[in-house]
A and B are shown apart, each in its own frame.
Chain A
């Protein structure tokens, strides 16, 4: 009986440890200076088209591993990233006012956290903002892209991890993310 109880306690502790470690992994990414919380930007429930991509460290390392022989530089790049997140959704006019307000809140937070705005395009129906977070070694440790086309769609991208401009261009080309292609600082 004692032995059974002891075994049960060990198994339970192991499960608890695994779950704490797993939860810890997600918390670690959220604490990273390159991570941006988009939770205030709600995807409209009735949006006709939406795409949500969330590729975290383990999957990125896995892709890095399997692409090593085919494209060594892409593999190296992916191995250093912690997260690639892309959210896009279709818009209609009724969504845009609320969305612009929420984006302003995110932008205020980015500026408060010393992100640098490197691209700002503001047209009648289109708004593009790109921010980067640089570390002390002058390397990019976070990138945020926010695009709103009032008549079409909204795009939000957050890349977390160490990268340079060539890396971002490569990721944009390989994963078909137009906003990342031909970025220059």
Chain B
């Protein structure tokens, strides 16, 4: 009996993992990562964390959260997310004399997919770009690239993001400074 239940659970997990957009990052996401890394010259890169959580795994997560009696806010946030891709990469032996730069080609590539840059910042040892994709009045996707001396972070979130931001604003308020933190 126990073996039967274990088999069913394993089968469900495997199915969720094999559903499109689950676990492995997309080709575009990988392209962005490789383009940035290619600009870093002889730097060594170690993947600390890399994952795509698609609708299949998210559904599993929502089910698990509902069974585990997770906080209602978390459930609400999970409901509005359709897909998440995250990549965290450790960087070693970066040439400190060369300024850190996110290649312009990335903006062009993302523009072809409907993304528009809203913020681009560059400091001595870091660069951050944030892109949005709108569908009418809805925020459909958010893409964040953060490059520092020792780390590259890529995040792409898709879903009903306006609802998530609305909740965050309701919780954090709209005071100066806090708005930026949202």
Contact = CB atoms under 8 A, between A and B. Distances in A.
B173 A70 contact: yes
A95 to B, nearest CB: 15
A56 B173 CA distance: 23
B162 A174 contact: no
Contacts, number: 67
Contact of A174 (B116, B137, B170, B179): B179
B27 to A, nearest CB: 21
Contact of A74 (B116, B132, B174): B174
B129 to A, nearest CB: 9
A24 interface: no
Interface string B160-182: 00100110011001101101100
Contacts of B123: 48-49
Contacts of B119: 51-53
A46 B176 CA distance: 31
B134 to A, nearest CB: 4
Given A51-B121, A54-B117, A176-B180, A62 B137 contact: yes
A67 B124 CA distance: 34
Given A50-B122, A53-B118, A62 B174 contact: no
Interface residues of B, number: 27
Interface residues of A, number: 26
Nearest to B162: A66
Contacts of B105: none
Contacts of B162: 62, 65-66
Interface of B: 99, 116-124, 132, 134, 136-139, 162, 165-166, 169-170, 173-174, 176-177, 179-180
